[in-house]
Protein backbone atom coordinates (compact mmCIF):
# COMPACT_ATOMS: atom_id res chain seq x y z
CA UNK A 1 0.00 0.00 0.00
CA UNK A 2 1.37 3.35 -0.96
CA UNK A 3 0.34 6.42 0.99
CA UNK A 4 1.29 9.83 -0.28
CA UNK A 5 0.18 13.40 -0.05
CA UNK A 6 -1.36 14.92 -3.14
CA UNK A 7 -0.09 18.50 -3.46
CA UNK A 8 -3.57 19.68 -4.48
CA UNK A 9 -5.37 17.88 -1.65
CA UNK A 10 -4.37 18.26 2.02
CA UNK A 11 -5.77 14.85 3.01
CA UNK A 12 -3.89 11.60 2.47
CA UNK A 13 -4.45 9.79 -0.79
CA UNK A 14 -4.40 6.02 -0.36
CA UNK A 15 -3.60 3.63 -3.15
CA UNK A 16 -4.84 0.05 -2.76
CA UNK A 17 -2.32 -2.68 -2.15
CA UNK A 18 -2.34 -6.42 -1.58
CA UNK A 19 -2.59 -8.22 1.75
CA UNK A 20 -0.79 -11.57 1.87
CA UNK A 21 -1.21 -14.14 4.64
CA UNK A 22 2.09 -15.99 4.80
CA UNK A 23 2.63 -18.99 7.03
CA UNK A 24 6.20 -19.63 8.11
CA UNK A 25 5.80 -23.38 8.49
CA UNK A 26 6.20 -25.56 11.57
CA UNK A 27 9.00 -23.47 13.06
CA UNK A 28 12.11 -24.58 11.23
CA UNK A 29 13.52 -21.73 9.10
CA UNK A 30 14.68 -24.14 6.38
CA UNK A 31 11.08 -25.28 5.83
CA UNK A 32 9.86 -21.86 4.65
CA UNK A 33 8.57 -22.32 1.10
CA UNK A 34 10.28 -20.67 -1.86
CA UNK A 35 7.06 -18.82 -2.68
CA UNK A 36 6.81 -17.47 0.89
CA UNK A 37 10.44 -16.31 0.76
CA UNK A 38 9.83 -14.56 -2.58
CA UNK A 39 6.73 -12.77 -1.25
CA UNK A 40 8.57 -11.68 1.88
CA UNK A 41 11.30 -10.12 -0.27
CA UNK A 42 8.66 -7.94 -1.96
CA UNK A 43 6.71 -6.53 1.02
CA UNK A 44 6.62 -2.99 2.39
CA UNK A 45 5.00 -3.83 5.74
CA UNK A 46 4.96 -6.97 7.90
CA UNK A 47 2.57 -7.62 10.77
CA UNK A 48 3.94 -10.39 12.97
CA UNK A 49 2.42 -12.11 15.98
CA UNK A 50 4.47 -11.64 19.14
CA UNK A 51 4.28 -12.83 22.71
CA UNK A 52 2.73 -10.35 25.15
CA UNK A 53 5.39 -11.35 27.70
CA UNK A 54 8.36 -10.18 25.61
CA UNK A 55 9.23 -8.77 22.21
CA UNK A 56 10.13 -12.13 20.67
CA UNK A 57 8.27 -13.44 17.63
CA UNK A 58 9.19 -16.88 16.33
CA UNK A 59 7.41 -16.15 13.05
CA UNK A 60 9.30 -12.89 12.61
CA UNK A 61 12.65 -14.51 13.37
CA UNK A 62 12.01 -16.93 10.48
CA UNK A 63 10.78 -14.21 8.10
CA UNK A 64 13.39 -11.50 8.90
CA UNK A 65 16.25 -12.83 6.75
CA UNK A 66 13.97 -12.52 3.70
CA UNK A 67 12.61 -9.01 4.37
CA UNK A 68 13.82 -5.91 2.52
CA UNK A 69 15.79 -3.51 4.73
CA UNK A 70 13.13 -0.84 4.28
CA UNK A 71 10.20 -3.06 5.31
CA UNK A 72 8.23 -1.73 8.28
CA UNK A 73 7.66 -4.34 10.99
CA UNK A 74 4.64 -4.18 13.29
CA UNK A 75 4.50 -6.57 16.23
CA UNK A 76 1.00 -7.68 17.16
CA UNK A 77 0.17 -9.00 20.63
CA UNK A 78 -1.29 -12.35 19.62
CA UNK A 79 -2.82 -13.17 22.97
CA UNK A 80 -4.69 -9.97 23.77
CA UNK A 81 -8.37 -10.20 24.66
CA UNK A 82 -8.78 -6.95 22.72
CA UNK A 83 -7.37 -7.41 19.29
CA UNK A 84 -7.96 -4.90 16.54
CA UNK A 85 -5.99 -4.31 13.39
CA UNK A 86 -6.80 -1.49 11.06
CA UNK A 87 -5.40 -1.74 7.55
CA UNK A 88 -5.87 1.24 5.27
Residue 77: its pLDDT value, please?
74
DSSP 8-state secondary structure symbol assigned to residue 55 = S
pLDDT on residue 85: 53
Q: Return the bridge partners of 35, or none.
A: none
Question: Please, are residues 57 and 76 in contact by the beta-carbon 8 Å criterion?
Answer: no
Helix (H, G, I), strand (E, B) or coil at 47: strand
Helices marked H in the chain: 34-40, 58-63
pTM comes to 0.69
DSSP conformation letters of 5-23 = E-TT-SSEEEE--------
Q: Which CATH class is domain 2-77?
A: alpha beta
**Which residue in 31, 30, 39, 35 sits closest to 67, CA to CA?**
39
Contact between 28 and 40 (Cβ < 8 Å): no
Would you give per-residue pLDDT tens digits along the chain (88 residues)? 444 444 555 555 667 888 888 988 888 999 999 999 999 999 999 988 877 787 788 889 999 999 999 999 988 776 655 555 554 4
Amino acid sequence: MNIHRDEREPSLQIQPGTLYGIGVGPGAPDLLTLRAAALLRSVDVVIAAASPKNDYSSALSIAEPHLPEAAAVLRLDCCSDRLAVVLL
